[in-house]
Amino acid sequence: MALEAVHVSDVPNLDQVPENASVSLYSTRFARGLELNRAASFRIPKFLVIGHRGHGMNSLQSSDPRMKANIKENSILSFNSAAKFPIDFIEFDVQVTKDDCPVIFHDDFILSQEDGTVFEKRVTELSLAEFLSYGPQRESGKEGKCLMRKTNGKIVKWNVETDDSLCTLQEAFQKVEPSLGFNIELKFDDNIVYQHDYLLHVLQVILKVVSEFAKDRSIIFSSFHPDAAQLVRKLQNNYPVFFLTNGGTELYYDVRRNSLEEAIKVCLEGGLQGIVSEIKGVFRNPGAVSKIKESKLSLLTYGKLNNVPEAVYMQHLMGIDGVIVDFVKEISEAVGDMIMPVNAEEKEESEAKSSLQFSQKELSFLLKLIPELIQH
């Protein structure tokens, strides 16, 4: 069957995804901790579906109602809500407070309002108690400080349909469904030049919590900071480390962040196991996939296009190893048609149901066309 069209004008800035853009997909979660050690011939054994900040990020001003905030991102509630679907991992962001507690929060700053004045405080300059004082409180009858967020240049109240308290990394290990893997992003501010000793201290604090509470849980570390990614690889060899990159869709002073080719170099120099790229960077440069595979690296992707089943299916055909998604339900229900049936009868049944099939000629055409479609 032919691929259902996605309008070209929607591709570069895909805030809205067609409501009917879903297929029946399937993904079996790893029952126990996945062996992801480079020394053990590291390889991702299946196409992974990873929940972005748990059940999906909070895009407070999105025009797509599914991208708006239903469940507070990066919360225990969001993580366990994602665990109800057949996904393999959740992705979340970890920073360390000034009193050395790893907490889960995406933004570099917490925004709040007092007496009509909006103020911001850097997460890493707060104590744990200060950090947890924002938003809903665990203690009955206690009211937390107002939590706000800057989005599209505007500061708005962080309103969600189902709210939850801010949380620590330790709590995530203790309270989240144990069969669900953690993709832990080591979060650092793009605008700060960090000294080696600071990076070392922060990573050691995080690794201490992981060592004490991870048990059999599957874990992948990732970071946009090339030095942090390489350093966490040197500090431990139990869990794989991936380098995060925009794949050239944005440019940075540190050239190591500016292309997939540079990302490969970072991985090979530091003994990392893979790359996590913005999907537009891969679609603009599909030839990089074979270079990544030839370098014996794994490749995951993130970005709004990963909320489109057709784009996810395309990545499966290209040999990409997994996707980080916001639409956990839709995409986890879409991945079954991509898995090869175990016998001829199941294959025939799967082909009858699937609306996502390409001939080699169609695939070749799409690989040539996609880079043109997503140019700004």
- pLDDT tens digits in sequence order for the chain, 376 residues long: 333 333 333 333 333 333 433 333 334 455 444 555 443 457 888 999 999 999 999 988 777 767 666 899 999 999 999 999 999 999 999 999 999 999 999 999 999 998 889 999 999 999 999 999 999 999 888 999 999 999 888 999 999 999 999 999 999 999 999 999 999 999 999 999 999 999 999 999 999 999 999 999 999 999 999 999 999 999 999 999 999 999 999 999 999 999 999 999 999 999 999 999 999 999 999 999 999 999 999 999 999 999 999 899 999 989 999 999 999 999 999 997 666 544 445 445 544 444 455 555 555 656 665 665 555 4
Give the Cα separation of 286 and 260 in Å (integer). Answer: 10
- Look up residue 168 and give its two tokens: 């620590």
Alpha helices in 158-195 (DSSP H): 169-175
Alpha helices in the chain (DSSP H): 76-82, 128-132, 169-175, 196-213, 226-235, 260-270, 279-284, 287-294, 309-318, 328-332, 344-353, 360-373
Give the Cα separation of 9 and 150 in Å (integer). Answer: 26
Give the orientation angle of helix 309-318 with respect to helix 360-373, to 10 degrees: 120
Give the Cα separation of 36 and 10 in Å (integer). Answer: 37
